[in-house]
């Protein structure tokens, strides 16, 4: 390599070169910005820390991790270890940027939301975490479940099965309608209904949905089959053949077409027409079967709302 002559090593070391000055300035500016962001975050957070309840009955404070207990109403039951590891590393560098939510139970604090952040904080070696503390007054189990559910939904922290179970609890334990749940969570009623329907799938398929072996779209296709054995068979076929949602739909359509063709071979035109009319009237699946001495009509429903609609049309409510 050709040696450059000119200033000499001693003199050049005393006179910073243009690139060195520019790099130094860039590093200084970047460092200054990081420091300012860090200081501003700390100032902002510190200004929020108070032991006095605000007009909503909340305050933010640093609480020792050992004083926090899990919430029995927590809808999240599955914690992805890889994502938890990523959050732990983030907390090591930046700290807990979003406070947890808890209620003061005198001798401890019960978590309403933030169990994932709490677990990661423990792994990161923190001794205290920032917590939004709510007054115990008027915090019923329903409100705690709603708060935990909404917070997790907004952060996309729940898998669809956990979400479905939470909706189901709000319906069965707290007598909320799907419309009321939709208003509280900001979801459409159809989303609530479809998520709850996922719980009618065999447990094996629900586990596959949680593990990401199939998508919610696949699950909806599987739900179009009423027989659990057929559902599991299709589920295994989707995994083994790596079927897309569209390909799975085609499999079901072909199977259903063959089944209907077989059934309709022994069904009179009157029975087929009646079946079509009843299906349209009740807005759900209806089957008409004839026999020598009469026959039977089977009306299927897949949610409480659909049942209410059927009973209403039968003038039973």
Please state, in angstroms and as integers, the Cα–Cα distance from residue 150 to each residue in 74, 143, 154, 167, 181, following that order: 11, 10, 6, 11, 10
Half-sphere exposure of residue 127: CA atoms within 13 angstroms, side-chain side: 0
- What is the dihedral sign for C-alpha 235, 237, 243, 247? negative
Contact 71, 64 (CB under 8 A): no
Structure tokens at 11: 């003199």
Q: List, as own/partner pairs, every contact residues 305-312 make where C-beta atoms lie below 8 angstroms and the sequence separation is at least 24, other chains included.
A: 305/177, 305/178, 305/189, 305/193, 309/282, 309/283, 309/284, 310/282, 310/284
Q: Is 67 exposed, middle or buried (0-12, 13-18, 19+ CB in 10 A)?
A: middle
Structure tokens at 233: 């068979």
Contact 219, 207 (CB under 8 A): no
Q: Any idea which residue has 């059934």 for tokens?
A: 263
Cβ contacts of residue 162 below 8 Å, gap of 6+? 75, 76, 77, 78, 152, 210
Q: Which helix (H) or strand (E) holds 149?
A: helix 141-154
Q: How many CB atoms lie within 10 A of CB 218?
A: 23
| DSSP-based three-state secondary structure for 280 | helix
Let me know if 115 is a catalytic residue: yes
Q: Which of 73, 115, 146, 163 is catalytic?
A: 115
Catalytic residue numbers, as ranges: 115
């Amino acid at each position: 390599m050709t040696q450059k002559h000119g200033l000499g090593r001693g003199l050049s070391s005393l006179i910073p070169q243009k690139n060195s000055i520019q790099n130094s300035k860039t590093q200084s500016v970047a460092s200054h910005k990081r420091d300012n962001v860090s200081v501003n975050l700390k100032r902002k957070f510190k200004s929020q820390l108070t032991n006095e309840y605000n007009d909503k009955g909340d305050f933010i404070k640093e609480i020792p991790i050992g004083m926090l207990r899990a919430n029995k109403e927590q809808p999240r039951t599955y914690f992805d270890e890889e994502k938890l590891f990523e959050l732990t590393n983030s907390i090591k560098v930046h700290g807990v940027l979003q406070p947890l939510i808890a209620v003061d139970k005198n001798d401890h604090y019960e978590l309403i939301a933030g169990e994932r952040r709490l677990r990661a904080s423990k792994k990161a070696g923190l001794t205290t975490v920032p917590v939004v503390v709510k007054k115990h007054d008027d915090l019923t189990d329903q409100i705690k479940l709603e708060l935990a559910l909404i917070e997790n939904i907004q952060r996309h922290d729940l898998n669809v099965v956990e979400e479905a179970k939470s909706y189901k609890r709000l319906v069965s334990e707290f007598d909320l309608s799907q419309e009321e749940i939709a208003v509280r969570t900001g979801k459409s009623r159809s989303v609530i209904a479809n998520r709850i329907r996922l719980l009618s799938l065999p447990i094996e398929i629900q586990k596959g949905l949680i593990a990401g072996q199939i998508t919610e779209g696949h699950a909806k296709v599987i739900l179009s089959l009423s027989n659990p054995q057929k559902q599991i068979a299709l589920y295994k076929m989707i995994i083994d053949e790596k079927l897309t949602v569209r390909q799975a739909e085609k499999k079901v359509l072909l199977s259903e077409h063959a089944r209907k063709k077989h059934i309709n071979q022994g069904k009179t035109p009157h029975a087929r027409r009646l079946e079509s009319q009843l299906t349209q009237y009740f807005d759900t699946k209806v089957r008409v079967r004839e026999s020598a001495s009469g026959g039977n009509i089977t009306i299927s429903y897949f949610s409480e709302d659909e049942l209410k609609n059927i009973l209403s049309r039968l003038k039973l409510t």
